[in-house]
Amino acid sequence: MITTEALSHIPLFESARDEALETILSRSADVRVKAGDWIVLEGEAAAFYVVVEGRCEIVKMIAGAEQVVDVVEPGGFFGEVPLLLGSGFLAGVRTTMPSRLMRLEAVDFHELVARCPNANHQILAEMARRVTGLQQASIAAPIMSVTVLGRRDDFACYDLRDFLARNQIGFRWLDPGDTAAIQAAGVPLELLHADNYPAVLFADRSYLIKPAYPELAQRLGLQTAPRKTTYDVAIVGAGPAGLSAALYGASEGLQTVLVECRAPGGQAGTSSRIENYLGFPAGVSGDDLASRAFHQAKRFGAEVIVTRQATSIEPRDGSGTTHAIVLDCGNRVQTKAIVLATGVTWRRLTLPGADALLGRGVYYGASRTEALGARGKDIFLIGGGNSAGQAAMLFSGYARSVTIMVRGEKLAASMSQYLIDELKKKENVQIEYTCECVSVTGSGHLESIEVAYKNGEQKTFPADMLFIFIGSEPETKWLPEALIRDAQGFICTGRDVLDLQPAGATRARDPYLLETSIPGIFAAGDVRHGSMKRVASSVGEGSMAIALVHQYIGEP
Ligand SMILES: Cc1cc2nc3c(=O)[nH]c(=O)nc-3n(C[C@H](O)[C@H](O)[C@H](O)COP(=O)(O)OP(=O)(O)OC[C@H]3O[C@@H](n4cnc5c(N)ncnc54)[C@H](O)[C@@H]3O)c2cc1C
């Protein structure tokens, strides 16, 4: 037990009477922690800690990297900032040596302040010092880690910017036409040639011209190849389902690797605001949610490989103990179990002129990075689902006008009521009902769209950007034939496998709830037949899949 004698040497309690110390001690927990353990994580509910023995460091994720912003020695304390601001912890705290701490809950913290005359002043002074420190660390962090040089109407440049944003790499974008900005940025003259765009410049003035994403990812320090030869579980696809599986797998002690062909986040990463995910009353942007999940999974030890596509699976044969996933770079990932979380991708629209203008005013889906490009523009959206509604809400803050085009007579059948109500409040958003976009035109960039109405009328609208949201489909043709899918390509699991398997097929046991027709290969999230197509359900399925992986691995 921590004694009143030990407390009396701590500056915070110096002038407190013995009975006050007794009361505080009676309400406190005596926390003993090993070196390197987390005491609190960023975002956790506030509590007050006093370091009695050992040493702790305060760690904050800034611009995607961990930074130690303060250290706390014996006699020091932490937790006052979130307690006084009424927020969660703004940074995590980890020990650097075996440590012992006194922990007080929020209500008891206020008792401490009332009973110890010196405490109030010390706590406020410490809080001011820490908030200033956090502010300085954020300002000093290198937010712009690379510069992209490329033309606005070049799809490759748009795609590159999207890739960087989704991998949480801060970047500045320079258009070759902006000579003043180019000179000010000190862009090497030899780069200024149309054949070189898009190019990526690094802080040390080196650059890559039209980089392939795996090459760029390596240069940026992202992981692009597996580090081990064999894993307990390999997950394909880093959307909400895959990230959740990686987090639960790694946190439950499984050797876990997650393979993603582009960047963490999946479809959710392209969503400007997810309003209905538990725990975020004001909504959360998809890239923020993805970034948090990515760092959480990594902190538990999951390996996250980006820019690598899984191209085939070699299921475990009778004598073997592992399945293999073959990646597009030729690497093989040997693993006891696999979770397929490859989601779905936007369905393509056959619209005359659209393919030639893809990335030059015509886009599938919309992420937050597009919002600035929409400033003062006339934006059109095809689709009446929630994705189109959320994008319209995002663009309405930037664009001159936002027009949603739908085939039906109302939105209620396809869009949530809360979004319909929000859209009604926006003066620059209008909805064109019973119509269809029939062609798009523009030389080099979208200039106008042709819209046909059910009553036979046809209109041409000048348009700067057209975003298409017309549903999605799974890409599962690369999977082994023995893995049963439905007619649309969604992967069947559990009971559905038994319904669709060839007559007379026999198996040693029925598949687990999220297990496919191949034992040890599971599916989670949107790619699964019958899934709910929501962030929350995908996250839930990712964690459930890991519980079933444990059962599979534990089988005799
Ligand atoms: C614009 C938009 C807005 C949305 N808004 C909401 C909302 O507000 N609320 C809500 O609940 N849901 C929303 N959704 C739906 C939600 O985002 C999805 O249900 C969820 O992302 C599905 O997660 P997932 O992990 O199953 O798949 P996905 O998010 O589709 O992720 C799959 C990942 O797998 C990767 N991948 C695919 N094939 C391979 C391969 N062979 N090798 C390696 N990697 C591969 C992909 O690159 C992708 O990153 C929205 C969707 C969109 C598009």
- pLDDT tens digit sequence for 95-108: 999 999 999 998 88
Any residues with CB less than 8 A from the CB of 239 and at least 6 apart, and which?
A: 265, 266, 267, 268, 269, 341, 343, 525, 526, 538
Q: Which residue, 310, 313, 309, 330, is CA-closest to 322?
A: 313
Q: Which residues are near ligand 1 (CB < 6 Å)?
A: 236-242, 259-262, 266-268, 270-271, 274-276, 309-310, 341-344, 365, 386-387, 390, 475, 525-527, 533-536, 538
Mean pLDDT score across all residues of the chain: 91
Name the residue with tokens 């398997």: 501
How far apart are alpha carbons 500 and 17 in whole angstroms?
75
Closest atom of ligand 1 relative to the 241 alpha carbon = 25
Q: How far is the CA of 88 from the centre of ligand 1 (A)?
A: 28
Q: How far is the CA of 266 from the centre of ligand 1 (A)?
A: 4
Which whole number is the average pLDDT over 459-486? 95
How far apart are alpha carbons 330 and 442 in whole angstroms?
41
Q: How confident is the model at residue 497 (pLDDT cuts 50, 70, 90)?
A: very high
Q: Which residue, 191, 197, 141, 186, is CA-closest to 168?
A: 141
Q: How far is the CA of 64 from the centre of ligand 1 (A)?
A: 22
pLDDT per residue as tens digits for the range 118-131: 788 899 999 999 99
Q: Indicate the pTM of the whole model.
A: 0.79
Closest atom of ligand 1 relative to the 264 alpha carbon = 49
Q: Ligand 1 pocket check: which of 514, 535, 539, 543 to mutate, most ligand atoms within 8 Å of Cβ?
A: 535
How far apart are alpha carbons 17 and 116 in whole angstroms?
8
Q: How far is the CA of 232 from the centre of ligand 1 (A)?
A: 24
The pLDDT of residue 80 = 94
Q: Which residue, 353, 391, 395, is CA-closest to 372?
A: 395
pLDDT per residue as tens digits for the range 177-208: 899 999 988 899 899 998 999 999 998 889 99
Does pLDDT of 143 surpass 80? no
Which whole number is the average pLDDT over 514-524? 98
Closest atom of ligand 1 relative to the 478 alpha carbon = 41
Q: How far is the CA of 322 from the centre of ligand 1 (A)?
A: 27
The pLDDT of residue 201 = 94
Q: How confident is the model at residue 313 (pLDDT cuts 50, 70, 90)?
A: very high
Beta-bridged to residue 448, according to DSSP, are 441, 462
Q: Give the DSSP letter of residue 511.
A: P
Q: How far is the CA of 26 from the centre of ligand 1 (A)?
A: 49
Q: How far is the CA of 323 from the centre of ligand 1 (A)?
A: 25
Q: Ligand 1 pocket check: which of 167, 223, 258, 267 to mutate, most ligand atoms within 8 Å of Cβ?
A: 267
